[in-house]
Homo-oligomer: A and B are copies of this chain.
Amino acid sequence: MSLLVVGSTAFDTIETPHGKAERCLGGSSTYFGLAARLFTPVRLVSVVGEDFPAESRSMLADRGVCLDGLEEKAGKTFAWHGRYSADMNSRETIDVQLNTFGDFEPKVPAHYRETPFVFLANGSPKTQLSVVEQMTSPKFVVADTMDLWIDIEKDGLLQLLQRIDGIILNDSEVQQLTGESNLIAAGEATLALGPKLVIVKKGEHGCFVFGQGFRYALPAYPTTAVVDPTGAGDSFAGGFMGFLAHSGDVTAASMKRAVAYGTVTASFNVEGFGVDRLAETDLKTVEGRLAELMQLVDPS
């Protein structure tokens, strides 16, 4: 089944202990799209400026990311410059220019409105809700969020959680949202807020899934070659939603498999700067690493 993502498109300048990459293609919708297209065609809703090059468009389109919903506005594309700490567990923003993304009001094209699977990348809950309201009758809607929205727009986020099927959060966000320091208690409390599915991401420690009638814990793929963590969360979400949309089924078994694909897809992403490694990966390579991950957790 088809899959829609609504999020940012950006140019990122990234500094990590492994080097510096300038004006790489980035943004949540791009990372998500390049991950999800491994499994199913992806429809992208985002905004760029007049500086967005034809090569970036064709790189995405050639890989199965439909850009009918990529609006081009007067001005420049969102630009971000960040620097990671030595252990890459934290980062500082050196510069951020929202540009055309500053007043992004997603408009879902008419021929996208019946898309069954929808991912709302990080954005204000109000903007995310506006997308839900444009869809005809989506089968499965999942959102990402961040500390900022829990701080300044918590009511909107709680309202959104009543309208969507799943949410993906990291460990500190789920603790902030619920006030529970124990991650299991925090995940359970989030599930009680309305969604059918809560995925708590724990970086190198993997993730914990709280679903209707099931719980699932999966370690991360044990990569030692982390070069650039940018987009890890969006590529996880892309692998997860991509497989789910491909399978067309939202049973516990399908979600567990999708979480494993998300884990593996994210492990490729962090092994290169920007979207480079994701863009060159194919499904066969992903399948190979999935088999390794399943071996790693096999208790027999």
- Interface residues of A, Cβ cutoff 8 Å to B: 86-87, 181-185, 188, 202, 204-206, 208, 215-219, 222-224, 226, 253, 256-257, 260, 294, 296-297, 299-300
A202, A204, A219 — most chain B CB neighbours (10 Å): A219
Seed contacts A184-B222, A217-B222, A256-B300; 7 additional CB < 8 Å A-B pairs: A188-B224, A208-B219, A208-B222, A215-B296, A217-B296, A219-B219, A297-B297
Q: Decide yes or no: A296 and B219 within 8 Å by CB, A87-B181, A226-B182 being known contacts.
A: no
How many copies are assembled? 2
Determine the residue in chain B with the shortest Cβ distance to A256.
B299
Which residues of chain B have C-beta atoms less than 8 A from A296's C-beta?
215-217
The smallest beta-carbon distance between A79 and chain B, in angstroms, is: 30
Contacts of A184 in B (CB 8 A): 222-224
**Contact in complex: B300, A253 (CB < 8 Å):** yes
Bound complex: CA A200 to CA B297 (Å):
15
Report whether A215 and B205 are in contact in the complex, using a CB–CB cutoff of 8 Å: no
Q: Which residues of B contact A218 (CB under 8 A)?
A: 219, 297, 299
Cα distance, A208 to B260, chains bound together (Å)? 17
Name the 7 nearest CB pairs between A and B, nearest first: A217-B219, A205-B205, A184-B222, A185-B224, A87-B181, A184-B224, A182-B224
- Least CB distance from A116 to B in Å reads 25
In the complex, A257 Cα to B300 Cα: how many Å?
8
